Structure 1
Amino acid sequence: MTDIMRSGDRGMRARMEQQLGRASRSPIGAWFRDIDRVLLLLAFLLIAIGLVAVAAASPASAERYSGGSHQITPMYYFWRQAGWVALSVPVLLAVSMLPVTFARRAALIGTVVFLALLALTPFVGVEANGARRWIGFGFAQFQPSEFLKPMFIVTTAWILSLKAEDRHLPVVPITMLLTGLVGLLLMLQPDFGQTMIFGLIWLILLLIAGTSPRILAGLAGLGLGGIIMAYMFYGTARARIDGFLFPDSSAVAADTYQTDMAHAVLTAGGLTGTGPGAGSEKFLLPEAHTDYIYAVVGEEFGYIACAVITILFLAIVTRVFVKQLEEDDPFRLLAASGLAAEFGVQAMINMAVNTGLAPSKGMTLPFISYGGSSMVALSIGMGLLLAFTRRNPYLSRSSYGTGWKSK
């Protein structure tokens, strides 16, 4: 009897091992084995924190934007954000499962499509606060520049990676033309903040690609010249810069109410915050659910919660950059690093504005701020980042710049 029981146990173990083996060879099993699960967890933590933050900010924004026949329930923005999260998470997971080659081709096509839409935006876009940055109507509005960012990064990474195959290719001028075209189309809207994001990410990619320091210095000088030109000829940029540099000057025409109030709201909660739903200063804050949601987190959950969010963003960027030290595929290295840099730069700018360290930019906090267009676009970007950081067992190890050959 004992022998029969032991034989049955061995048979059960064999069947279980066989089933696990089949599961590990399935597409889902292979994806889960190769994906950076820590990076995926960090992204999900930010999304969850974002839902809590939007729930805290929703009553303030609902009250501010209610009026007349347009009445908004206190949790209106929270429930809408929950719907966008329910849509975005499957998008994130689906994109993360794409093979690297397919993801690259999809991003190249996406760059062409969203560049065309970006060119149409100044003419057919919806006007808000003197700018045209959105296309569509009602619930179907979206911001082409948000979707273009991850596509642009992957396309630029691919162009720069071609240098490993032919060092004579003019990859820097080509990517410079692409970046200049994007910047021109954005300034037609106008959108100075997004223009700066695209320019910074391009410079970061050039730095990672090993571009000559002399070329980088020249490009940095051009960038500084662009900021000076924007200050001279772009009234909104001049007003915000003056308001930041000379906040107490009576000659400053800019209204610094938003950044001043954001700083006041953020510091109102102290170390541990007033508690969920107990914040009162947030009701005086414009765009509490989008651009200034970091300040709402500070009031209701305290400096500790703000520090946790900052650490999560830093952990994502650091993990990707450290992991890329072992990557020998130039395209994957540049694409993953660029996507992580874009994620970190946007978060840094938003937090700097909320803390009074930078002038107002109209920049959302990734995965934390309310916004359907932003949430879906960020999920596509994070999905691409996860796709490009999956374990890559098929490439032989060789030094950067000498070629990458499959085994």
Structure 2
Amino acid sequence: MSLTQAHTPSAPAMNAGKAGFDWWLAAVAVLLAGLGVIMVLSASGIMAERMVHDKYFFFKKQAMFFAAGVALMFVMAWMPRKILYGPVYLYLMLVIGLLVMTLIPPFSVKAGGARRWMHAGPMVLQPLELAKVVLVFYLAYFYSSKQALVKSFSVGFIPPVVVTGLLGMIMLIQPDFGGAVFMGMLFFLMSLVGGTRIIYLLVSGMFGAGAAALLVINSPYRFKRWFAFLDPFQDPQGTGYQLVQSFYAFGSGQITGVGFGSGKQKLFYLPEAHTDFIMAVTGEELGFIGVSLILALIGVLMWRSFRVALAQDDLRDRFTAYGMALVLGIGFLLNLAVVMGCVPPKGVAMPFLSYGGSNLISGFLCVGILLNLSRRKAA
């Protein structure tokens, strides 16, 4: 059954909807995030000790993010549907404003040569994570309300391209090439099920690929990094360093791992050990068995997420659930592809596992919205 087809729910399905939200989905999300907090403790202790003389610094912050994320998940799960969807265009303007603020020095936080973060009181916020959710809300609203015109070029295709392109352009200015790619993938996959003509998507995909190629070719740093993943051992101390250290971590873990807390790659060999490359530390310390367990949990999470989408009768609900599942699924896919050398390195956090409040709370936000929709009855 496609996402645009309505269906009549069976008696068991209707009874399931009255029973409440999907507890399996909630439990798996909490379990994954709990494992993430534990792995952050192991992966960040040495760095935290050197930076702030407190080896539990990142662990304590991640634990607070975890508590806030779980609370937000349950708030979103029981929020009335009308409030949940709210004014979509206001959400868009808010997100665009936050992204622009990352470019303004007084508000922004610069790290690694990029301005992708901003001060939010005592915290540091990455607006990209919120932009993913808001883009889903917008595209779900657009494609559910424009089904009669979705095949047209001017009405059914141009508006979402302009909105997604604007978000992507701001990210490229930061610069955040990986974030722009993420938004492009989200747009393509939601447009595909939303009813957009395939020819429009193919042509726009070709233009996008061409623009990405020009950005890579005209940037020596991006060019080297883009091709480093093809043979990282050709320059193991330069552009291939991070990926080589990731391979060493996975290779050292073998079947059962070297033991929790006993990994060596986190000892300043592997950059970003507690953030983007936390799965490499997990592979080293918990081995094939530990990584397989996490992949199994991710599989259950995605199964329950898409199950919620297919169970919806209302088209907007169905597109929204599908989009939230995509935000999580694309994040899992891109992060695993990077740490295993299947795609060029880019800054994509592992949902629920990587250190970072914006990423963790965004993951719980997506799950909370899915739980709300799993209740089936609009409130």
Find out whether 1:390 has 2:363 as its counterpart.
no
Find out whether 1:292 has 2:277 as its counterpart.
yes
Over aligned residue pairs, what C-alpha RMSD do you find?
A: 2.4
Find out whether 1:111 has 2:99 as its counterpart.
no
Which whole-Å CA distance do the structure 2 matches of 1:326 and 1:89 have between them?
A: 24
Report how far residue 212 of structure 1 moved. Answer: 1.8
Question: Equivalent residues in 2 for 1:37-52 (5 A)?
Answer: 37-52=23-38
Report how far residue 71 of structure 1 moved. Answer: 3.5
Gaps of 5+ in 1: 1-29, 395-407
1:202-251: CA deviation from partner (whole Å, max 9, x where unpaired) = 0000111122222222122122112212212244432211212353557x
Find the partner of 2:201 among 209, 212, 216: 216
Partner residue, 1:159: 142
1:108–1:154: 8 Å Cα contact kept in structure 2? no
Find out whether 1:54 has 2:40 as its counterpart.
yes
Which whole-Å CA distance do the structure 1 matches of 2:41 and 2:349 have between them?
A: 16
Which whole-Å CA distance do the structure 2 matches of 1:178 and 1:149 have between them?
A: 12
Which whole-Å CA distance do the structure 2 matches of 1:38 and 1:392 have between them?
A: 19
Gaps of 5+ in 2: 1-15
2:276–2:347: 8 Å Cα contact kept in structure 1? yes
Report how far residue 370 of structure 1 moved. Answer: 0.8
Which whole-Å CA distance do the structure 2 matches of 1:378 and 1:108 have between them?
A: 22
Change in CA separation of 1:72 and 1:374 when aligned onto 2, cut-off 3 Å: farther
How many residue pairs align between the two structures? 359
User: Could you say which structure has the greater relative contact order, defined with CA pairs below 8 angstroms and 6 or more residues apart?
Assistant: 2
* CA radius of gyration, larger in: 1
Find out whether 1:259 has 2:240 as its counterpart.
no
Which whole-Å CA distance do the structure 2 matches of 1:53 and 1:175 have between them?
A: 38
Find the partner of 2:183 among 192, 195, 198: 198
* TM-score after normalising by structure 1: 0.82
Find the partner of 1:241 among 226, 232, 243: 226
1:114-170: CA deviation from partner (whole Å, max 9, x where unpaired) = 111112211231211111111117842211111111111111111111123655681
Letter in 2 for 1:210: G
Partner residue, 1:102: 83
Report how far residue 344 of structure 1 moved. Answer: 0.8
Partner residue, 1:10: none
Partner residue, 1:75: 56
1:153–1:338: 8 Å Cα contact kept in structure 2? yes
Partner residue, 2:361: 376
1:160-199: CA deviation from partner (whole Å, max 9, x where unpaired) = 1112365568132110000000011101100000000000
1:239–1:254: 8 Å Cα contact kept in structure 2? no
1:183–1:195: 8 Å Cα contact kept in structure 2? yes
Question: Equivalent residues in 2 for 1:84-163 (5 A)?
Answer: 84-105=65-86, 108-124=89-105, 125-136=108-119, 139-163=122-146
* TM-score after normalising by structure 2: 0.88
2:229–2:243: 8 Å Cα contact kept in structure 1? no
Question: Equivalent residues in 2 for 1:170-189 (5 A)?
Answer: 170-189=155-174
Which whole-Å CA distance do the structure 1 matches of 2:167 and 2:295 have between them?
A: 29
1:163–1:171: 8 Å Cα contact kept in structure 2? yes
Question: Equivalent residues in 2 for 1:294-333 (5 A)?
Answer: 294-333=279-318
1:289-323: CA deviation from partner (whole Å, max 9, x where unpaired) = 10111011111111111112122222222232244
SS of the residue corresponding to residue 175 of structure 2 reads coil
Aligned-pair identity in percent equals 31
Which whole-Å CA distance do the structure 1 matches of 2:350 and 2:311 have between them?
A: 30
Which whole-Å CA distance do the structure 2 matches of 1:218 and 1:166 have between them?
A: 19
SS of the residue corresponding to residue 141 of structure 1 reads strand
Change in CA separation of 1:230 and 1:33 when aligned onto 2, cut-off 3 Å: same
Partner residue, 1:282: 266
Find out whether 1:271 has 2:252 as its counterpart.
no
Which whole-Å CA distance do the structure 2 matches of 1:320 and 1:90 have between them?
A: 19
